[in-house]
């Protein structure tokens, strides 16, 4: 093997290792975020259930209302515009 080929192979291995390490770190961060979200959900559920307040059902509240795809799209746009997603 020529010296430049050896050097190139080492560089490719280093880049691959760096990319794998970055991917692993990103996955670890995502796992931590998922755990935090789960803990927040549990915290909210505990507050709701332990508050002693009656859960209000919204079943039937929109009876007779026609919701279009445009309404849903506008609602999503409104919600996600504030979160930056």
User: How do residues 28-84 score in pLDDT, each as one tens digit?
Assistant: 999 999 999 999 998 888 877 766 667 788 778 888 888 899 998 888 888 777 666
- Structural domain boundaries in the chain: 3-83
Q: What is the pTM of this model?
A: 0.41
Question: CA angle at residue 11 from 9 to 15, to 5 degrees?
Answer: 115
The number of CA neighbours under 13 Å toward the Cβ of 74 is 5
């Amino acid at each position: 093997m020529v010296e430049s080929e050896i050097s190139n192979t080492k560089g490719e291995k280093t880049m691959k290792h760096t990319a794998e390490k970055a991917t692993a770190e990103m996955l670890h961060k995502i796992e931590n975020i998922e755990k935090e979200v789960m803990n927040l959900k549990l915290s909210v559920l505990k507050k709701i259930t332990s508050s002693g307040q009656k859960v209000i059902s919204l079943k039937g509240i929109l009876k007779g209302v026609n919701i279009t795809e445009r309404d849903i799209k506008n609602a999503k746009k409104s919600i996600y515009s504030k979160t930056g997603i």
